[in-house]
Amino acid sequence: MAEFRISSDDEQVDLRKLAAALTESQGWARDEVSIWDTRRGEVIINVDDTLLRPPETDPLHRPRHTPADVHRACEHLRREEPSLRGVDFVFLRKETARFFSAGWTVADVLHALAHRPDHVVWPTGPEHHGDAWLRHRLTAWRTPDGDIRPSHSQEAAQLRVVSRAGLPMELGLPEEVELSERPVASPEVARSAADDARRLMRQNSRTTTNSLAHQDRTSENIHRPER
Protein backbone atom coordinates (compact mmCIF):
# COMPACT_ATOMS: atom_id res chain seq x y z
CA MET A 1 0.00 0.00 0.00
CA ALA A 2 1.32 3.41 -1.01
CA GLU A 3 0.31 6.66 0.63
CA PHE A 4 0.28 10.11 -0.96
CA ARG A 5 -0.26 13.29 1.04
CA ILE A 6 -1.53 16.50 -0.54
CA SER A 7 -1.44 19.75 1.42
CA SER A 8 -1.73 23.43 0.64
CA ASP A 9 -1.49 26.73 2.52
CA ASP A 10 -4.15 28.17 0.22
CA GLU A 11 -7.53 27.64 1.82
CA GLN A 12 -9.26 28.25 -1.51
CA VAL A 13 -7.84 25.01 -2.93
CA ASP A 14 -10.22 22.06 -2.75
CA LEU A 15 -7.82 19.29 -1.82
CA ARG A 16 -10.39 16.51 -2.27
CA LYS A 17 -11.10 17.60 -5.85
CA LEU A 18 -7.37 17.86 -6.46
CA ALA A 19 -6.88 14.32 -5.12
CA ALA A 20 -9.76 13.01 -7.26
CA ALA A 21 -8.28 14.68 -10.35
CA LEU A 22 -4.90 13.11 -9.56
CA THR A 23 -6.34 9.59 -9.34
CA GLU A 24 -8.31 10.06 -12.56
CA SER A 25 -5.19 11.30 -14.38
CA GLN A 26 -3.48 8.01 -13.45
CA GLY A 27 -6.37 5.95 -14.75
CA TRP A 28 -7.34 4.66 -11.29
CA ALA A 29 -11.02 4.06 -10.65
CA ARG A 30 -12.44 5.96 -7.69
CA ASP A 31 -13.39 2.75 -5.89
CA GLU A 32 -9.84 1.43 -6.24
CA VAL A 33 -8.26 4.13 -4.06
CA SER A 34 -9.03 5.69 -0.68
CA ILE A 35 -9.08 9.46 -0.20
CA TRP A 36 -9.10 10.78 3.35
CA ASP A 37 -9.50 14.37 4.48
CA THR A 38 -7.60 14.84 7.74
CA ARG A 39 -9.33 18.18 8.36
CA ARG A 40 -5.90 19.64 9.04
CA GLY A 41 -5.28 21.08 5.58
CA GLU A 42 -4.17 17.71 4.24
CA VAL A 43 -5.66 14.93 2.12
CA ILE A 44 -4.28 11.38 2.09
CA ILE A 45 -4.57 9.04 -0.90
CA ASN A 46 -4.03 5.32 -0.29
CA VAL A 47 -3.22 3.27 -3.40
CA ASP A 48 -2.83 -0.50 -3.57
CA ASP A 49 0.52 -1.80 -4.86
CA THR A 50 -1.22 -3.69 -7.68
CA LEU A 51 -2.23 -0.34 -9.20
CA LEU A 52 1.31 1.00 -9.01
CA ARG A 53 2.80 -2.17 -10.49
CA PRO A 54 0.35 -3.51 -13.05
CA PRO A 55 1.06 -7.03 -14.36
CA GLU A 56 3.27 -7.31 -17.43
CA THR A 57 1.66 -8.05 -20.76
CA ASP A 58 2.46 -11.67 -21.62
CA PRO A 59 5.63 -11.81 -19.49
CA LEU A 60 6.61 -15.25 -20.78
CA HIS A 61 6.72 -14.35 -24.46
CA ARG A 62 7.67 -10.68 -24.74
CA PRO A 63 11.25 -9.83 -25.82
CA ARG A 64 13.71 -8.39 -23.30
CA HIS A 65 16.36 -5.93 -24.42
CA THR A 66 17.28 -3.38 -21.76
CA PRO A 67 19.13 -4.24 -18.52
CA ALA A 68 15.97 -3.45 -16.55
CA ASP A 69 13.97 -5.84 -18.77
CA VAL A 70 16.55 -8.59 -18.25
CA HIS A 71 16.51 -8.03 -14.49
CA ARG A 72 12.72 -8.44 -14.37
CA ALA A 73 12.94 -11.45 -16.67
CA CYS A 74 15.36 -13.16 -14.28
CA GLU A 75 13.03 -12.47 -11.37
CA HIS A 76 10.26 -14.13 -13.35
CA LEU A 77 12.52 -17.08 -14.19
CA ARG A 78 13.24 -17.73 -10.53
CA ARG A 79 9.53 -17.69 -9.75
CA GLU A 80 8.74 -20.12 -12.58
CA GLU A 81 11.67 -22.56 -12.21
CA PRO A 82 12.34 -23.85 -8.65
CA SER A 83 15.82 -25.12 -9.64
CA LEU A 84 16.91 -21.51 -10.24
CA ARG A 85 16.21 -20.38 -6.70
CA GLY A 86 19.58 -21.74 -5.61
CA VAL A 87 21.41 -19.94 -8.44
CA ASP A 88 23.11 -16.67 -7.60
CA PHE A 89 20.96 -13.91 -9.08
CA VAL A 90 23.89 -11.94 -10.52
CA PHE A 91 25.18 -15.14 -12.16
CA LEU A 92 21.71 -15.89 -13.55
CA ARG A 93 21.42 -12.41 -15.04
CA LYS A 94 24.89 -12.62 -16.58
CA GLU A 95 24.34 -16.07 -18.12
CA THR A 96 20.93 -15.25 -19.62
CA ALA A 97 21.62 -11.68 -20.78
CA ARG A 98 23.17 -12.78 -24.10
CA PHE A 99 20.21 -15.03 -24.84
CA PHE A 100 17.74 -12.23 -24.20
CA SER A 101 19.85 -9.96 -26.43
CA ALA A 102 19.49 -12.59 -29.16
CA GLY A 103 15.70 -12.26 -28.98
CA TRP A 104 14.96 -15.10 -26.57
CA THR A 105 11.99 -14.86 -24.23
CA VAL A 106 11.46 -16.13 -20.68
CA ALA A 107 9.54 -19.08 -22.13
CA ASP A 108 12.49 -19.86 -24.41
CA VAL A 109 14.94 -19.95 -21.49
CA LEU A 110 12.59 -22.18 -19.51
CA HIS A 111 12.36 -24.51 -22.52
CA ALA A 112 16.17 -24.60 -22.84
CA LEU A 113 16.50 -25.54 -19.17
CA ALA A 114 14.12 -28.46 -19.71
CA HIS A 115 15.11 -29.59 -23.23
CA ARG A 116 18.24 -30.02 -25.31
CA PRO A 117 18.35 -28.46 -28.79
CA ASP A 118 17.41 -31.85 -30.27
CA HIS A 119 14.22 -31.78 -28.13
CA VAL A 120 15.44 -34.53 -25.78
CA VAL A 121 14.28 -33.77 -22.24
CA TRP A 122 17.03 -32.99 -19.75
CA PRO A 123 17.13 -35.20 -16.64
CA THR A 124 15.42 -33.78 -13.59
CA GLY A 125 15.86 -34.23 -9.87
CA PRO A 126 17.15 -32.49 -6.76
CA GLU A 127 20.76 -32.94 -7.91
CA HIS A 128 20.14 -30.84 -11.03
CA HIS A 129 20.53 -27.28 -9.78
CA GLY A 130 23.13 -24.61 -9.09
CA ASP A 131 25.36 -22.35 -11.15
CA ALA A 132 27.20 -25.15 -12.99
CA TRP A 133 23.88 -26.80 -13.89
CA LEU A 134 22.57 -23.55 -15.39
CA ARG A 135 25.73 -22.89 -17.40
CA HIS A 136 25.86 -26.46 -18.72
CA ARG A 137 22.30 -26.40 -19.99
CA LEU A 138 22.56 -22.98 -21.62
CA THR A 139 25.92 -23.86 -23.21
CA ALA A 140 24.15 -26.65 -25.09
CA TRP A 141 22.19 -23.93 -26.87
CA ARG A 142 25.35 -22.29 -28.22
CA THR A 143 27.23 -23.23 -31.38
CA PRO A 144 30.88 -24.38 -31.19
CA ASP A 145 31.79 -20.77 -32.09
CA GLY A 146 29.86 -19.45 -29.11
CA ASP A 147 26.95 -18.00 -31.09
CA ILE A 148 23.43 -18.30 -29.71
CA ARG A 149 21.30 -20.93 -31.39
CA PRO A 150 17.72 -20.07 -32.44
CA SER A 151 15.37 -20.45 -29.51
CA HIS A 152 12.34 -22.71 -29.40
CA SER A 153 9.98 -19.89 -30.42
CA GLN A 154 12.36 -18.55 -33.07
CA GLU A 155 12.70 -21.99 -34.62
CA ALA A 156 8.92 -22.40 -34.65
CA ALA A 157 8.60 -19.02 -36.37
CA GLN A 158 11.25 -20.00 -38.93
CA LEU A 159 9.43 -23.27 -39.66
CA ARG A 160 6.27 -21.26 -40.31
CA VAL A 161 8.26 -19.08 -42.71
CA VAL A 162 9.56 -22.19 -44.48
CA SER A 163 5.99 -23.50 -44.76
CA ARG A 164 4.67 -20.23 -46.13
CA ALA A 165 7.57 -20.06 -48.57
CA GLY A 166 6.10 -23.09 -50.35
CA LEU A 167 9.17 -25.33 -50.34
CA PRO A 168 8.71 -28.51 -52.43
CA MET A 169 6.69 -31.19 -50.67
CA GLU A 170 9.23 -33.84 -51.71
CA LEU A 171 12.12 -32.05 -50.01
CA GLY A 172 14.29 -34.69 -48.33
CA LEU A 173 12.05 -37.63 -49.26
CA PRO A 174 13.02 -40.77 -51.25
CA GLU A 175 13.08 -40.19 -55.00
CA GLU A 176 11.79 -43.63 -56.02
CA VAL A 177 8.40 -43.29 -54.30
CA GLU A 178 5.42 -41.60 -55.93
CA LEU A 179 4.59 -38.24 -54.39
CA SER A 180 1.12 -39.36 -53.31
CA GLU A 181 2.57 -42.41 -51.57
CA ARG A 182 5.57 -40.82 -49.93
CA PRO A 183 5.66 -40.78 -46.13
CA VAL A 184 5.81 -37.63 -44.08
CA ALA A 185 9.34 -36.36 -43.66
CA SER A 186 10.97 -37.26 -40.37
CA PRO A 187 11.66 -34.53 -37.81
CA GLU A 188 15.38 -34.82 -38.63
CA VAL A 189 14.76 -34.15 -42.32
CA ALA A 190 12.41 -31.27 -41.55
CA ARG A 191 14.97 -29.79 -39.17
CA SER A 192 17.70 -30.10 -41.81
CA ALA A 193 15.52 -28.31 -44.35
CA ALA A 194 14.76 -25.59 -41.81
CA ASP A 195 18.46 -25.21 -41.10
CA ASP A 196 19.16 -24.70 -44.80
CA ALA A 197 16.43 -22.08 -45.06
CA ARG A 198 17.62 -20.42 -41.86
CA ARG A 199 21.16 -20.11 -43.16
CA LEU A 200 19.86 -18.40 -46.29
CA MET A 201 17.73 -15.98 -44.25
CA ARG A 202 20.54 -15.16 -41.84
CA GLN A 203 23.38 -14.68 -44.32
CA ASN A 204 23.17 -10.92 -43.96
CA SER A 205 21.93 -10.75 -40.36
CA ARG A 206 23.69 -13.40 -38.31
CA THR A 207 23.38 -13.29 -34.54
CA THR A 208 27.04 -13.68 -33.71
CA THR A 209 28.97 -13.08 -30.55
CA ASN A 210 30.28 -9.79 -31.95
CA SER A 211 26.82 -8.50 -32.88
CA LEU A 212 25.49 -9.46 -29.45
CA ALA A 213 28.35 -7.61 -27.78
CA HIS A 214 27.35 -4.56 -29.82
CA GLN A 215 23.74 -4.98 -28.68
CA ASP A 216 24.88 -5.21 -25.07
CA ARG A 217 26.83 -1.97 -25.37
CA THR A 218 23.90 -0.27 -27.06
CA SER A 219 21.28 -1.48 -24.57
CA GLU A 220 23.20 0.10 -21.72
CA ASN A 221 22.39 3.49 -23.23
CA ILE A 222 18.71 2.77 -23.89
CA HIS A 223 16.38 4.08 -21.21
CA ARG A 224 12.72 3.32 -21.76
CA PRO A 225 10.01 4.83 -19.58
CA GLU A 226 8.38 2.48 -17.11
CA ARG A 227 4.76 1.59 -17.85
CA distances from 69 to 34, 53, 73, 74, 208 (A): 31, 14, 6, 9, 21
What per-residue confidence (pLDDT) applies to 180?
Answer: 46
The percentage of the chain sitting over the pLDDT mark of 70, rounded to a whole number, equals 68
> Can you give the pLDDT at residue 170?
52
- Let me know: does 49 contact 72? Beta carbons within 8 Å: no
According to DSSP, the residues that pair with 220 across neighbouring strands are: none
Three-state SS string over 56-116 comes to CCCCCCCCCCCHHHHHHHHHHHHHHCHHHHHCCHHHHHHHHHHHHHCCCCHHHHHHHHHEC
pLDDT tops 50 at residue 206:
no
Nearest to 216 by CA among 111, 99, 46: 99
Q: Indicate whether 226 pLDDT > 60.
A: no
Mean pLDDT of the residues in the chain:
77
Residue 222's pLDDT band, with cuts at 50, 70 and 90, is low
- Model pLDDT, residue 138: 95
Whether residue 152 contacts residue 108, with contact meaning beta carbons closer than 8 Å, is answered with yes
Give the residue-averaged pLDDT of 138-159. 88
pLDDT at 169: 46
Q: For residue 39, name the pLDDT band (cuts at 50, 70, 90).
A: confident
pLDDT range class, residue 35, cuts 50, 70, 90: confident
For residue 40, the one-letter residue type is: R
Calculate mean pLDDT across residues 35-41: 82
Out of 47-61, 145-159, 176-190, least confident range: 176-190
* pLDDT score recorded for residue 99: 94
Summarised one tens digit per residue, pLDDT across range 96-131 is: 999 999 999 999 999 999 999 988 999 887 778 889
The reported pLDDT for the residue numbered 174 is 53
- Segment 177-189 shows an average pLDDT of 51
